[in-house]
Structure 1
Amino acid sequence: MFILDEHGVDLNTVIQDVARALLDVGVMVTPTPGPSEPGTPRADLHLTLDAGARGRVDYPTVLKTGPLDRRIATAIALPPDRPLLLIAPHVPDSVAEVLTARGVDHADAAGNMRLAWDGMLLDVRGRRPRTSTTPHSRDATAARAFTRTGTMIVFALLSWPELAARPMREIATVSDVAVGTVHTVMRELSAAGYLRDGAAGRTLNRAGELLDRWAEAYTIKLARKLPIASFTLDTLDRLGDLEVDLKAEGAQLGGERAASRIDPHLYPTTATFYLSGVPASLVARYKMRRDDDAGSIHLRRRFWRRPGDTSPLVPSPLIYADLVSSGDPRQREHAERIRRVDDRLVELDRL
C-alpha cells in the first residue's frame, strides 16, 4: 500500500524511477492497485528477479518523499503482513542501517537498495541522490492534522478519546491551540475516516492507524521543538529523589524511564521530563550540569493543558512516540511491547 505524506511528489514518477533502478539489477517491478480506504492511495509492488527464476515477492509498500533520517526510519510503523518495502527518491546510508536492522527492505531512485528473499540478497549503498525535476503535489488526506499544531490536537484525542465528543473550545484548551485550528483539524480527521458520528457523539475510528501516523508526524513536526535543556548528575543515585521533586514542581515523566514503568523489559539510560520551564532551584540543589549533547536528563516543554491531571507519567501515546522517535531500534522494539500491554494503547488499536 502506498501512503503519501504531506511532502508527496507524483506517485507514478517515483515508482518509475525506482523501477528503473531495480531493473538495472534484474528485478522486474509491477505496481498493482489494491483495496483502498477512502482518501488514501494504495497499491502493492510485485517484484520478480530474473524472470521468475529466483521467485516473486508481493510487498506492502510505503512511499516516503520528504527528508529521511534515522529517527524517521525508526518511527515508521511496520504492518503485520511483513516484509515492508520502503521506496523513496533517496535513502541515505545511515537510514539504510536502521531500516535493515528493523527488517525493512528498501530501494530508491538513485539505485541504493536492500532486498532479501528466498536466499537472495541485493545490497547497494553509497549512491548519491538524483537531481529531480518532478513537480510537487500534496497529499490532502488530513494533511493539516499532521502539522505541528495538528499533532498537538491529535495527541489530545489519542490521550483522552472522550475529548472527541466534547466542544471544540474544550479540545482547544487541552491541546493549547486556537479554536479555529481545532475546527479545521477535526473536519479533516472526519473526512479521512478517523472520526465518526454516532449516538454517543463523535468517537475515534481506526485509532491504531491514527496513532501510527501521529507518532511519525510527532517525530518530524513537533519533537524537535520541545527540548528545553539536558543535564547530567554527579551520581544517578539521586535520580529518584530528583524525580519526586520535579513531580512536586508539576513535571511528568516520559521517554524510556516512563516506558519502564509500563513494562520492565527496558533498562532506561535516560530520563525525560515534561514541564513548563527549567526549575532553577532544583538545578542548583542537585548540582545538575547542563550538557545538551550528552546529558541523560532531558527537560522538554509540555505542550498540552489538562486541568486536574496529577499523573506522574505523561499519557502513554507520548511515551510510545518518544520511543519510536528516538532513532534507537532497541527503544523501537520496546515501543511495540508497551503497545501490546498498555491499556490506553491496546484500546486505541481496538477502536
Structure 2
Amino acid sequence: MNELSLTRAALERLGEYGLRGEVLAAEYTHPGETRRPDAVVRLTARSGATRTYGTDVKHRLTPELATSLALPTQLPALLVTTYVSEPIAERLRARGIDYLDTAGNAHLAWDDVLVDVRGRRNPAVPRSRTSPRAAGAFGRSGLRVVFVLLSWPDMASRPYRVLAEASGASLGTVKAVIDELARAGYLYTGAEGRRMARGGELLDRWSEAYSITLHTALALGEFSVNDLSWWPDAETEMRSMGIQVGGEAGASLIDSHLRPASLTLYAEQLPARFIGRHRLARAEGGGNVHIRERFWRAPEPESWIVPSPLIYADLLASGDPRQREHGDRIRTDDDRLVHLDRT
C-alpha cells in the first residue's frame, strides 16, 4: 500500500463521523515549502464546514516519531497512518496535530467540527516494502550514506568510493542511495557534478527514519552518574580518545542557553578507561549518559562535537518534548542546519 492508497483507505472511514474526504492532488508544491505534503485532501462536514489539509503519510508510527515529526507548513497538516495507539495519540494531541488512521482512530478539529475517536484496534494493514520517496535511502545502511551528505553536502559530488569510506557502507549501497535520492529530487546533476536539493526536507525525513531504524541500533551502553558538571572540561581528554559529544549536551555547545540533563557520547567502541575515570555506573534501564557507536569517518578534521544533523536527530529521537524544543532552536542557530534549510 503506497502513500496515496493508504490516504484513500483512511478517508473512507470518515463517513462514520459525518465527514466526506476527497483527494485534491497527489502532490503539492508551494514556494518556500521545505516539507512537501504527500497529498492534498479536503474534508467536508455535514454542516458544510470544510478544511483543506496537506497530508503526511507514515506506514509505521512510534511514540518517539510522534514527537519528532516535522510536518508540512503551508497547509494545515493531517497525519495519516495505519494505526495510532493511545500513547501516540496523546503525543499528537499535545502537539495539536490532527490525525487519521485506517482503523478509524482520529482527531480532527476546525470551526464547529470536532472528531476525537480513540481505542479502535489495529487493522494490521501490511506494511509497504517500497516507497516512491526513496525508501532504500532510509534503511539502516542508507541512513549512514545520507548522514554524510547532510553533514558535508559537498560530498554529493565525490566518487562513490569516497562516500563509501566516509559512511562505512558498501559501494553498491552508495550507488543505490544516490540513484534513489536523485529520482526523489534530493540530488541533481549540474555543471559541477551532483548537488543537494531540498536539504531541509531531506533532513526531516532522515531524522524520522533515524529515530525508527538506526537510533537504538547504535547503543554501546547506558550509564548513570550523579554529577554531570565535569564533561565541558573534558574536551582534551575526549579528543585524545576519539570521543565526540552529541545529543542535548552537543546542542548546548551550539546554544549556550540550553541546560542539558543528559550526556550523549559517540565512540568507535566502548571507552572503558573513560568510563572508569568518570565513575559511570551501568544503567540497563536507561541512564543519563548514553554511549553510541560512531558510524562515520569524517572527510575533514572534526571538532569534539558530532555534526549538527546528528545532534538534531538525537534530540528528536529522544521522544522528550523538551529536547524537541532544543532541536527547533538549534535548527535556526546552527550554520550547517540553516544552510540545509536553504538548499
Give the alignment's TM-score, normalised by structure 2: 0.91
What are the residue-to-residue correspondences of 1:106-125 with 2, within 5 Å?
A: 106-125=99-118
Provide the rounded CA distance (Å) in 2 between the counterparts of 1:319 and 1:136. 29
Task: Provide, for residues 145-188 of structure 1, a one-character-per-residue CA deviation record: whole Å limited to 9, x for no partner.
Answer: 11111110010011011111112111111111112221221122
Matching residue within 56, 70, 74 for 1:77: 70
CA drift at 1:121: 2.7
What is the CA–CA distance in structure 2 between the aligned matches of 1:83 and 1:12, rounded to whole Å?
18
Match of 2:32 in 1: none
More divergent stretch after superposition (152-161 vs 259-268):
259-268
In the alignment, which residue of structure 1 is the partner of 2:270?
278
- Counterpart Cα distance in 2 of 1:16 and 1:172: 39
Q: Which residue of 2 is the match for residue 328 of structure 1?
A: 320
1:65 maps to which residue?
59
CA contact (8 A) 1:112 1:127 kept: yes
Look up the match of 2:180. Answer: 188
Partner of 2:338: 346
1:305 and 1:288 map into 2 onto residues whose CA distance is 27
**Aligned equivalents of 2:129 and 2:264: distance in 1?**
37
How far apart are 1:11 and its partner, in Å? 4.7
- Post-superposition shift, 1:340? 1.2
Give the SS at the match of 2:270.
coil
Contact 2:81 2:100 (8 Å CA) reproduced? yes
Matches within 5 A, 1:11-22: 11=3, 13-22=5-14
Task: Indicate whether 1:97 and 2:93 are aligned.
Answer: no
Does the CA-based 8 Å contact 1:98-1:329 persist in structure 2?
no
SS at match of 2:169: coil
Q: Give the 3-state SS of the residue equivalent to 2:130 in structure 1.
A: coil
Question: In the aligned structure 2, how far is the partner of 1:27 from the partner of 1:202?
Answer: 46
TM-score, normalised with respect to structure 1: 0.89
Instruction: Label 1:48 to 1:307 Cα distance change in 2 as closer, same or farther (>3 A).
Output: closer
Amino acid corresponding to residue 159 of structure 1 in structure 2: S
Structure 2 unpaired stretches of 5+ = 30-35
Matched, 1:251 2:251: no
Cα distance in 2 for partners of 1:196, 1:308 equals 24
Cα distance change on mapping 1:191 and 1:238 into 2, 3 Å: same
Q: Secondary structure at the match of 2:96?
A: coil
Please list, as runs of the form range in 1=range in 2, the aligned pairs for 1:232-243 lying within 5 A after superposition. Answer: 232-242=224-234
Superposed CA deviations along residues 264-283 of structure 1, whole A, max 9, x for unmatched, are 34321111011111221222
Please name the residue that 2:39 is paired with. 43
| One-letter identity of the residue aligned with 1:50 | R
* Corresponding residue for residue 173 of structure 1: 165
Most deviating of 110-119 and 341-350? 110-119
Report the residue type matching 2:42 in the other structure: H
- In percent, how many aligned pairs have the same letter? 45
Residue number in structure 2 paired with 1:88? 81
Q: Report deviation, 1:248.
A: 2.5
RMSD: 2.2
